[in-house]
Copies of this chain bind each other. A is one copy, B any other.
Amino acid sequence: MVREMPEASIGVLVAGHGRFAGGLVEAVELILGPQEGLRAVDFTAGDTATELKDGIDAALADLAGFESVAVFCDLRGGSPFNVSRAAASSRDDVDIYYGANLPMLIDFVSKRNLGVAPRLLRSAAVDEGRSNLDCFDASAVEAHEDDWA
């Protein structure tokens, strides 16, 4: 009997100031390959708050086919976070992360693609993001380093 791979049931939206969101999504896809259900909304210098809200609403509508949505913001506070939070306030199927970095998002998207449950993804992504954020200590280098690309 052939077991099908689980569907990716979590949509992912990245939102941030400048072109942080688009840049981060591009980095994820360069490493993991093109992804379904991964959107970026940038809040650049010329954008109004209304344009940001429209962009986030449109991205969430695009992701409506997923069972839940995870929003990764650049930081807590600030328009991208606040607008995402407001959009999610009436829903119980949206998690909002902040301080997003690439290790966190790679971990989340990879495990989402394997069908790992949202409640397990949550703490794993935060742990992964934090433990892979550091100042490199050349004196503590292990014998062989992992290499992404």
Inside 8 A of A82's CB, which chain B residues have their CB?
145, 147
Contact of A75 among B77, B97, B126, B132 (CB under 8 A): B132
Give the distance to chain B from A96, nearest Cβ to Cβ, in Å: 4
Inside 8 A of A101's CB, which chain B residues have their CB?
74-75, 99-101, 129, 133
A95 at the interface (CB under 8 A from B): yes
- The complex is assembled from copies of this chain, and their number is 2
Give the distance to chain B from A121, nearest Cβ to Cβ, in Å: 10
* Alpha-carbon distance between A134 and B75 when the two chains are bound, in angstroms: 10
Inside 8 A of A77's CB, which chain B residues have their CB?
145-148
Give the distance to chain B from A40, nearest Cβ to Cβ, in Å: 9
Give the distance to chain B from A147, nearest Cβ to Cβ, in Å: 5
* Alpha-carbon distance between A9 and B55 when the two chains are bound, in angstroms: 39
A-B contact pairs, 12 of them (CB 8 A): A17-B30, A18-B24, A27-B74, A31-B78, A74-B101, A75-B103, A75-B148, A76-B145, A77-B145, A82-B147, A99-B101, A130-B133
Can you name 18 extra interface pairs (CB under 8 A) apart from A18-B23, A101-B133, A126-B133?
A16-B27, A17-B31, A18-B27, A19-B26, A20-B23, A20-B102, A74-B102, A75-B103, A76-B146, A79-B149, A82-B145, A85-B138, A96-B135, A97-B135, A99-B103, A104-B133, A129-B133, A130-B130
Instruction: Tell me the chain A residues, 89-109 only, with Cβ under 8 Å from chain B.
Output: 89, 95-104, 106
